Amino acid sequence: MTDGHAYRAQLTLRRLLPEKVKMLGRLARLAFQPPPPPAPAIAQAQLEGCVLLTDRLEMLRRLPKGGRVCELGTYRGDFARMILEAVQPDELHLVDVSFALCGQDVLDHPAVRLHQTTTTAFLGASAVADFDWIYVDADHGYEAVVADIACAKRRVKPSGLLVFNDFARIVRPGFGVFGVHQAVCEFAAAEGWAVAYLSMGGEALYDIALRRPVG
Ligand SMILES: C[S@@+](CC[C@H](N)C(=O)[O-])C[C@H]1O[C@@H](n2cnc3c(N)ncnc32)[C@H](O)[C@@H]1O
């Protein structure tokens, strides 16, 4: 569902439509789609080692330098630039349906590898656990995040991290519909990955990092 032609066309349309038109679409969707049930709790044992951070840049400062990193959803390249500066990865794989708006400095960086495709098409092309960490920040709809998790969890090395931007539950008109919180809580509750970091943000759109268990 998240790498077919219809989905790609939908993503392109979303990039082109003015914000007011998108808001009308969200209102229409909400009229027919009731809010999801509350997300399952993440067990306390999974939260004991979690470090609370002031923002996502502080999280980057604490991640190991170098390595093989992937960002799903790059847009203008603002966070990719922060990764390049703070983490200095050996390879930074950027995945987006379009890099038209991405900064040229990011596109030209020697560590950057570009993948102009959908997140699930890129991640699903291999089952090898070859990334030290993956930053998930593409389509924030519930089904899309569930699909990203299903592919990304296999591509992270044992003890590597799956990091999610906009760990939020937003079902109010005008703010988009964010299913990230629901999808991440369901995944964490089902598979028991420990929460390593929770980083704050001025708009209360937090980042959460889950660590893949070893073995
Ligand atoms: C929120 S922006 C990314 C922002 C960026 N991570 C940052 O923090 O600077 C989301 C991006 O994901 C891309 N995107 C959305 N759904 C996608 C999908 N299924 N596959 C690939 N890219 C997708 C959009 O084109 C957009 O550029």
Full pLDDT tens readout for the chain, 215 residues? 677 888 898 888 888 888 888 878 777 777 777 777 889 999 999 999 999 999 999 999 999 999 999 999 999 999 999 999 999 999 999 999 999 999 999 999 999 999 999 999 999 999 999 999 999 999 998 899 999 999 999 999 999 999 999 998 877 655 557 899 999 999 999 999 999 999 999 888 999 999 999 97
Residue 98 Cβ contacting ligand 1 at under 6 Å: yes
Give the residue from 151, 158, 135, 122 showing the smallest Cα distance to 209.
135
Structural domain including 183 reads 5-34+49-211
Q: According to the model, what pLDDT value does residue 1 have? A: 64
Q: What distance in Å separates the CA atoms of residue 10 and residue 177, rounded to the nearest whole number?
A: 15
Whether 69 maps to a domain, the answer reads yes
Whether 41 maps to a domain, the answer reads no
CA of 53 to the centre of ligand 1 (A): 24
Percentage of the chain exceeding pLDDT 70? 97
One-letter amino acid at 162 equals L
Whether 44 maps to a domain, the answer reads no
Whether 39 maps to a domain, the answer reads no
CA of 205 to the centre of ligand 1 (A): 16
Q: According to the model, what pLDDT value does residue 212 have? A: 98
3-state secondary structure of 27: helix
Whether 29 maps to a domain, the answer reads yes
Q: According to the model, what pLDDT value does residue 59 have? A: 98
CA of 48 to the centre of ligand 1 (A): 31
Compute the chain's Rg from CA coordinates.
Answer: 17
State the CATH number of the domain containing residue 187.
Answer: 3.40.50.150
Q: According to the model, what pLDDT value does residue 17 have? A: 87
Q: According to the model, what pLDDT value does residue 96 have? A: 98
Q: According to the model, what pLDDT value does residue 214 have? A: 96
Whether 68 maps to a domain, the answer reads yes
Q: According to the model, what pLDDT value does residue 11 have? A: 87
For a substitution probing ligand 1, which of 11, 79, 105 has the most ligand atoms within 8 Å of its CB?
A: 11
Q: Which contacts of 146-152 are long-range, i.e. CB under 8 A and separated by 24 or more positions? A: 146/179, 146/183, 146/186, 146/187, 147/1, 147/2, 147/119, 147/120, 148/2, 148/72, 148/119, 148/120, 148/123, 149/183, 149/184, 149/187, 151/119, 151/120, 151/123, 151/124, 152/72, 152/119, 152/123
Whether 43 maps to a domain, the answer reads no
Q: According to the model, what pLDDT value does residue 175 have? A: 56
Residue 55 Cβ contacting ligand 1 at under 6 Å: no
Q: Whose CA is nearest to atom 11 of ligand 1?
A: 73
CA of 144 to the centre of ligand 1 (A): 11
Q: Count the helices and strands in the chain (H runs, E runs).
A: 9, 8
For a substitution probing ligand 1, which of 14, 119, 199, 205 has the most ligand atoms within 8 Å of its CB?
A: 119
Whether 42 maps to a domain, the answer reads no
Q: According to the model, what pLDDT value does residue 24 have? A: 81
Number of domains the chain contains: 1
Q: What distance in Å separates the CA atoms of residue 155 and residue 129, rounded to the nearest whole number?
A: 4
CA of 163 to the centre of ligand 1 (A): 14
